[in-house]
Structure 1
Amino acid sequence: MPIARWNGAVIAQATDAQVQVVENNVYFPLATVTQACLRPSSHTSVCPWKGTASYYDLVVDGAVNANAAWVYPQPKDAAKEIAGHVAFWRGVSVER
């Protein structure tokens, strides 16, 4: 069961069947992410085959991890399986 943790808190938890793994990143369905930990960011990035990613800051116990989560709200067809899924980096531990 994949679990994402940061700053001592579980940020996301899902079954193996619920997640998607793309380029060694585990994408959790948005519904399996602790919403109170997500704060929308204005940061974006573009992947040539996945599309435009939007980012979230993680906020746990007053600590902020800027742009540590990303989502492709409208991915290109090649990455349609990660629509509505969130991935993490910047010190977030993901156990599979």
Structure 2
Amino acid sequence: MAHAHLKTAVPADKAELTESPKQLALSFTESLEPSFSKAELKNADGHIIPAGKPALDPKDKPTLIVPVSTTLDKGQYEVDWTALSVDGHKTQGKYTFTVK
């Protein structure tokens, strides 16, 4: 049985952006259970930034889309994600990006 590992992310790990992203897009190696998969966005102080409801990309089922509900200020942000693959295995991780 396989686990859903993070394959790619937009914004990418350690990315330096010139403007606030409108969404997070996390692509995994396996299809996800959307009800039990999520991504939280935190600022440098560890406070959670409000985000929209995560949903699977209808064109790419292993991709979780999370709308960013607010314009992010300049600074470093952390994405903490949890993914539950359709075979029932849970994985989690984190990465950072910066808005310049």
**If the length of structure 2 is used for normalisation, what is the TM-score?**
0.31
**If the length of structure 1 is used for normalisation, what is the TM-score?**
0.31
Higher relative contact order, structure no. (Cα contacts within 8 Å, ≥ 6 residues apart): 2
Q: Which has the higher helix share?
A: 1
